[in-house]
Structure 1
Amino acid sequence: MKVMQLLPELNSGGVERGTLEIAKALIADGHESLVVSNGGRLVNQLEIEGSTHLTLAIHKKALSSLWQIRPLRKLIQQHRPDIVHVRSRVPAWLTHFALKGIPANQRPHLISTVHGFYSVNRYSQIMTQAEKVIAVSDSVVQYIQDYYKNCPAEDIVRIYRGIDPQAFPHGYQPSAEWLNQTIKDFPELENKFLLCLPGRITRLKGHESLIALIQQLHQQYPQLHAVVVGGADPKKVAYLQEMQNAIQAKGLTNRITFVGHRSDIREWLAFSDVVLSLSNQAETFGRTALEALSVGTPVIGWNRGGVAEILSQLYPQGLIDVDNQVALLKAIQKHIDEPQQVQPVNIFSLKEMCDQTLDVYKQILK
């Protein structure tokens, strides 16, 4: 098979990671993998792992992106993939128009993955207009069925995102070198009970809930410290500053540490005592929550979306009624007073995700 995946950029995030994982699985299974994007820091890894990257500006939600339809059509006609797999709305629209200009008997098969709970409108509907529509959780299947009646139920395939259990082994501990360097860089973290909020700096990730928690608990638990693992892209720097000002005004500067964008997320998840998932909107899957549980760190999160699906199966005591700050507070207190154990994770594997996706490709080619 020759499969072409399309996404806006290759910097960081679940869509990007899923693209790389499927690309790698295709190569390992003896197929050809092409990825079209505007580029980014993950291109090098993608190419080292055997895929071909084709750079095209398919990342902007702007009318000017329509200029990319003809170049994209040319790429498709030149490389002649068997399957085109779209993972985001702008690439999906551009692919829709590009394929219209190719004779029907020469068009590749079209697959989409719905990675998000997109705003419900005509623009988002394009993600449900493919021969097979992959949904990354049961919550996403429900979302498609609720809002896009045009998409037949038999065309939707639920494939959970997955992680490599060897990359996040149960009981994992960071190396002495890592610990020494981290305490050197952030001496305030030494001998603390660490609450970790991972994820990019955006208003959606629930930083306000974390600040409120620390404000309520810091006098009762002097050993409690929060660490925010994730960077702010240039558009979010003002929000980061706003948060830091609020933290300073509340006298919590020495209780909350921002460590920025990190490539050593496994270490931070293992180093932490509890990982939080407090997004203001339901997560479609919640891979970071799964990674934390995989290494054996308890996760406490709102009972909605993909995170609820993961927690209900792996760590139900971490589920909290949505926006119930009192229940959240009590759960944190319980975890500080009585450390909890997480059982080894043996579901949601990366291999299952890749095998199921390649099966969809193979079935569609039959």
Structure 2
Amino acid sequence: MKPLKVLQLLPALDSGGVERGTLEIARALVAAGHESVVLSKGGRLVAQLQAEGSRHIARDLGRKSPTTFLHYRALRKLFEAERFDIVHARSRLPAWVAWLAWRGMPADARPHFVTTVHGMHSVSRYSAIMCAGERVIAVSDTVRDYLRSHYPPTRWPHLADERITVIPRGIDPAEFPRDYPPSDEWLARFHAEFPQIGQRKVLTLPGRLTRLKGHHDFITLVARLVAEGVDVIGLVVGGEDPKRPGYAKEIRARVQAEGLAGRILFTGHRSDVREIYSVSDCVLSLSSTPESFGRTVLEPLAMGRPVVGYAHGGVAEILAELFPHGAVGKGDVAAATVRAADVIAGRTPVVEHNSRFLLANMQAQTLKLYGSLA
């Protein structure tokens, strides 16, 4: 592949799955000898991006205001001056501005335009911009099927199947290694912080404290196991949503009301989630809406830790590949309770080794797509 010059656009570089994916592709571009440029309003990940060999251009294309669209003229000048081979938009508003800039250029002078659909956006003309790429990357089969269903070629002729490429997100096995043992020092600190765990079996529900993550179902599941005499403790691993503090109070109040304060612990946001997975006997995924991918399911499974989850969206895809026994119907708390009890008792098969959802695969497939266009 000839050396490429690639621009990725997104609102900001603070945290999140889109931001993580942007840095992962930027790193792969640099390692392969290409020129990597990222445009965003900035954020705490800019320093890491630059340290890993990419260039950052500061421009706020994520502010939800009609005036943001006016940036298209300046962006067109940037495209003309920089002569990018690929422009890759990862979010709706930056995609709109980039598309307006790109559309106004002579066809023989344009960069190639790529979009990634990271989630199931509301169906609208606004969201349809993510289907406007010469190639449209879907992060899972679920997202591809969503696009096919809601943006059919009969209404959106440009979105023919050959334009959609499924490139699943992936993890680095070195970051979440199989059968990872936490250090003795970490174990001592963790048990000192949460002495209620003791020798009990550990059930973990990762994810921010938002209603969609299924915390009420988790409380019900733990309560049923305790009532059946299973000596378990539940860990809710995730920070509160600052926009919805009432929900965090609601679930904490329910835990108190049901006498489960010693059985369900709230860890808050953690940077040691890998270690928490390693001491978990079972991880739960109880989201009420389908995930576009399901990273918090893949991470523990890659480490060999069983996951029981509602089989819809990207979670269903990952469970089908790595741990089919953990899949239960959406909202079926009773079935999830039985499967969790099976896991705790050792009545389930081992988790399959992850060979599909790998970071290296995602990087290689994305760079191959860039090369096929350029």
In the superposition, the TM-score normalised over structure 2's length comes to 0.92
Match of 1:216 in 2: 224
What runs of 5+ residues in structure 1 fail to find an aligned partner? none
User: Is 1:342 the counterpart of 2:351 in the alignment?
Assistant: yes
Corresponding residue SS for 1:187 = coil
From 96, 107, 111, the counterpart of 1:93: 96
1-structure distance, mates of 2:137, 2:271: 28
From 7, 10, 14, the counterpart of 1:4: 7
- Kindly state the Cα deviation for residue 211 of structure 1 after the two structures are TM-superposed: 1.5
Of 129-138 and 205-214, the range deviating more from structure 2: 205-214
2-structure distance, mates of 1:31, 1:266: 32
What runs of 5+ residues in structure 2 fail to find an aligned partner? none
Match of 1:43 in 2: 46
From 111, 129, 133, the counterpart of 1:130: 133
In structure 2, the CA distance between the partners of 1:108 and 1:175, relative to structure 1 (3 Å rule), is: same
Within 5 A, what are the aligned runs for 1:1-366?
1-149=4-152, 150=156, 151-221=159-229, 223-338=231-346, 340=348, 341-365=350-374
Matched residues, number: 365
* Paired amino acid for 2:359: L
In structure 2, the CA distance between the partners of 1:207 and 1:65, relative to structure 1 (3 Å rule), is: farther
Residues 56 and 68, structure 1, Cα contact 8 Å, conserved in 2: no
1-structure distance, mates of 2:264, 2:15: 24
Of 317-326 and 342-351, the range deviating more from structure 2: 342-351
* Paired amino acid for 1:209: D
In structure 2, the CA distance between the partners of 1:337 and 1:343, relative to structure 1 (3 Å rule), is: same
Residues 196 and 229, structure 1, Cα contact 8 Å, conserved in 2: yes
- Kindly state the Cα deviation for residue 320 of structure 1 after the two structures are TM-superposed: 0.3
In the superposition, the TM-score normalised over structure 1's length comes to 0.94
2-structure distance, mates of 1:262, 1:75: 40
The CA deviation string for residues 179-199 of structure 1, in whole angstroms up to 9 with x for no partner, is 111112222233221111112
2-structure distance, mates of 1:280, 1:65: 34
Corresponding residue SS for 1:41 = coil
In structure 2, the CA distance between the partners of 1:190 and 1:59, relative to structure 1 (3 Å rule), is: farther
* Paired amino acid for 2:144: V
- Kindly state the Cα deviation for residue 309 of structure 1 after the two structures are TM-superposed: 0.9
1-structure distance, mates of 2:49, 2:347: 40
1-structure distance, mates of 2:138, 2:266: 33
In structure 2, the CA distance between the partners of 1:73 and 1:253, relative to structure 1 (3 Å rule), is: farther
Residues 7 and 37, structure 1, Cα contact 8 Å, conserved in 2: yes
2-structure distance, mates of 1:114, 1:231: 26
